[in-house]
Structure 1
Amino acid sequence: MWAYAIVVFVVLLLGLFLGEWRPSRKKEILFLCLSSVVLIVFSALRATNVGIDYYQFYVPFFENVRSGGWSFLVSDANPYLTEFGFSLLTFLISLVTGNVFVYMAVIATIMIGLTAWVLYRDCSKPWIGMFIFVAFNFFGNTLSYIRQSLGIAIFLFAIHYIKEKRIVPYMLLVLLAATFHNSLLLMLPVYFLAQIAINRISLGVYGGMTILVLVFSWQIFNLVTQFVYQYYATDQNLYFMQGRDFMTGFIPVLAMVLMIAFQKLLLKKNPRNVVLVNIAMYAGIFFIFTWKHFLFQRIGNIFFTAAILYVPELLTALQATGTEEEKQRRFLAGKGSWRNYGYVYGIIAMIILGLIYYFWFIQQNRINLLPFYTVFDEIQVSALRVQATTTTFLNTLVQTFG
């Protein structure tokens, strides 16, 4: 646990120092560089036991690609044949190294580097976005859900083009993201849906659809699995249809409520923020579904990761506008005091809730983030195993031949 505590507090303290104290664009760049290095090094140095999918899926896959080469890549033996972007990336890395830790370091650099780029380009407060990336456990997901995390990083990069109403680059980026994880194909219609105005009619439609899905979820599941994703209907994978506890969906649903409640403020700041309000709403809806069926969380995570963009946008919208003289005059007149302090209160609430959510998630250990071991621990354990095996072999020889 101590390793994760160090990471989140380093990012938080760097953010407060470089992002809030005399902020500047240069300081934002410095913060993003420093925090990215911290996260990449942390990810690269973890042992293969950290992240439930790491040793179970990605270590053998990398070894198979390394030994089988291109023929394995294009064969039916490749479990990620339909996610060829990930397969190709693994193949290219395997041409340079056979070390799985270097492989994971390169992938971590791509995921975190692309996230930092998105924060620099699109986030109104990059330090808040990076803190949320860690505290809301999106970084933790990159330690296990590697393919989907790569796809999500590309999707985050593509959100900019929804706001710009540039359909071609958005669609191309989503199709690219889907070559890393097929679930990203669900983001194709988001280009159109995310531009719908949030009003009583649209909220009524979304609310009605949410109720219908909750009521008829098993019927929908049985219908869908007759044609696709049949493996979810097996006894082994039916645990995906179990519900998650309240805490799992609390933060995404709270963020949805706040984004809708303050949408007028957000749209006044930037009319294109309707995209972020919609995405926050989709995240909240899918996490409401998650309370009944865990399966929906994998989709909800795609939308919820965009919180690195929409939560900072909400917090900066709470800041009072105008010159310092105007702010002071309004404050002395007793007008808009909540706006003067809204940002500060929002930051404090975000930090407290973020840290609670972060340590709760780590402690749940749903994706084997604990215990945390480093590559050096794993090398030492491997050396001890070799030593023990050698000793046993020599003792057997001595006993056999006297």
Structure 2
Amino acid sequence: MVFYCFFLFVIMGVMVLDKMSTFIHCSNVQLSDDSRILPNEYAKKNVFLMVAFLLLFCFSAFRFDVGWDYLAYYDTVKYNIQTNIVGGEEFATILLIELSRSIGIYNLFFVVNSFICLFLIYKTINKYSVDPWLSLLFFLCFPLYFLNSLSVIRFFTALAITFYGFKYIEQKRPIPYIVLVVIAILFHKASLIAFVFYLARYIKLGTFKLVILLASLPVIANLLNGLVLNYLPKYAVYTKETASQEGTKAIVFFLILAFIALLLRKKITDDDEPSRIYLNIFFMGIAIYLMFYAQGTMGHRLSLFGTIYGLLVVPKMISLFNNAIVHFYLKLLFYTLLVAMFLYIINSGAATYIPYRTIFE
């Protein structure tokens, strides 16, 4: 537990150094009437955020037996055990496992997956988040993001690839986006659902219609389940309710965010096309969560392809509060909540995360 507290302290320390550096730089810049350097623009050009992600990469890439699925992956790589990890014809995953096995560096599988995941998430939030540090700490502390990536490894590699593909949705470039999603599918087939997110740029529902749609989704899901049970019973395993409810408590947090986002929707999307699109994708993720909530783990896993955009939505919402004091206390409240969640999950999931060990031990 102490190591995780220290790690979080170091990441937040790097953030403080970045803020101090940005403040000093902007204080020394002489602004003319026709030119302006915004602190956030300067922040995107310095190395502190990159250093923080490099620390996350090292934490993830060089761990040993941290994450509930870690040994399943490790044994598959080292001992050539036939598991569902190699049984799903996800050829990028299989290729990477075979490469790690053939050269005898079994941790290479974890290093490459960690690099792809964290590098692409870094690139995306650095480009689109109005507060990349807030996005980073949200990613680090919220249980379904970074800590979850230590277990569902190939899933998060695929998730990061589709998240990075947002730039092609925003740029109206369907072919590169489709190619990225296909690559993601080669790591994890759940990425198939990301194809629908390209339609997010064309969704222009009013707030009232959106609320009605979200509220009706559990009913629609029950009707769908009834149809499958009656007419396609062999597929009922995918739609019927399950006792496996891993991750489903997070729906409360996401619904609160969605409610606040609905209240601020006009301000979020006014004259900001990327924000309109990623807010739509976030709502699509919530919709998937509600549709498959009764399916337990399946619901939150599939929804992550949309709810990962919370990394962009939350900083945008907080940035709308222009009053400096209100803005400060909102961020302080959110940071406090994140730290509390991080420490709670590490403590409650001690069997999964503690002790933290590296491959060098």
Smaller-chain TM-score bracket: 0.7 to 0.9
Tell me by how many angstroms 1:183 deviates.
0.7
Paired position in structure 1 for 2:31 = none
Tell me by how many angstroms 1:93 deviates.
4.2
Paired position in structure 2 for 1:363 = 347
Paired position in structure 2 for 1:54 = 70
Tell me which moved more, 108-117 or 269-278. Answer: 269-278
- Distance across 2 between alignment mates of 1:30 and 1:225: 54
Paired position in structure 2 for 1:123 = 129
Paired position in structure 1 for 2:109 = 103
Paired position in structure 1 for 2:314 = 311
Q: Secondary structure at the match of 2:52?
A: helix
Matched ranges for 1:230-309 at <5 A: 230=237, 238-240=242-244, 242=245, 246=249, 248-288=250-290, 292-295=294-297, 296-309=299-312
Q: Secondary structure at the match of 1:79?
A: helix
Structure 1: segments with no counterpart, 5+ residues: 321-338, 378-402
Query: Residues 154 and 174 of structure 1 are in contact (CA less than 8 Å); yes or no, is this contact kept in structure 2?
Result: yes
Q: Secondary structure at the match of 1:375?
A: coil
- Distance across 2 between alignment mates of 1:220 and 1:31: 53
Paired position in structure 2 for 1:12 = 12
Paired position in structure 2 for 1:162 = 169
Normalized against structure 1, the TM-score is what? 0.74
Tell me by how many angstroms 1:63 deviates.
2.4
- Distance across 1 between alignment mates of 2:236 and 2:86: 14
Q: Secondary structure at the match of 1:100?
A: coil
Query: Residues 217 and 290 of structure 2 are in contact (CA less than 8 Å); yes or no, is this contact kept in structure 1?
Result: no
Larger Rg: 1
- Distance across 2 between alignment mates of 1:309 and 1:266: 11
Give identity over the alignment, percent: 20
- Distance across 2 between alignment mates of 1:283 and 1:92: 34
Q: Secondary structure at the match of 2:140?
A: helix
Query: Residues 171 and 188 of structure 1 are in contact (CA less than 8 Å); yes or no, is this contact kept in structure 2?
Result: yes
Letter in 2 for 1:120: N
Tell me by how many angstroms 1:164 deviates.
2.3
Task: Kindly indicate whether residue 211 of structure 2 is the aligned counterpart of residue 203 of structure 1.
Answer: yes
Paired position in structure 2 for 1:183 = 190
Q: Give the direction of change, closer, same or farther, for the CA distance of 1:217–1:356 in structure 2 (3 Å limit).
A: farther
Tell me which moved more, 97-106 or 257-266. Answer: 97-106
Tell me by how many angstroms 1:227 deviates.
4.4
Q: Secondary structure at the match of 1:99?
A: coil
Letter in 2 for 1:55: L
Tell me by how many angstroms 1:355 deviates.
1.6
Q: Give the direction of change, closer, same or farther, for the CA distance of 1:293–1:127 in structure 2 (3 Å limit).
A: same
Q: Give the direction of change, closer, same or farther, for the CA distance of 1:112–1:272 in structure 2 (3 Å limit).
A: closer
Query: Residues 100 and 107 of structure 2 are in contact (CA less than 8 Å); yes or no, is this contact kept in structure 1?
Result: no
Letter in 2 for 1:256: A
Paired position in structure 2 for 1:63 = 78
Query: Residues 83 and 181 of structure 1 are in contact (CA less than 8 Å); yes or no, is this contact kept in structure 2?
Result: yes
What is the RMSD computed on CA atoms of the aligned residues? 3.2
Query: Residues 280 and 303 of structure 1 are in contact (CA less than 8 Å); yes or no, is this contact kept in structure 2?
Result: yes
Tell me by how many angstroms 1:85 deviates.
1.8
Query: Residues 282 and 308 of structure 2 are in contact (CA less than 8 Å); yes or no, is this contact kept in structure 1?
Result: no
- Distance across 2 between alignment mates of 1:303 and 1:297: 10
Task: Kindly indicate whether residue 220 of structure 2 is the aligned counterpart of residue 212 of structure 1.
Answer: yes
Tell me by how many angstroms 1:148 deviates.
0.5
Paired position in structure 2 for 1:349 = 333
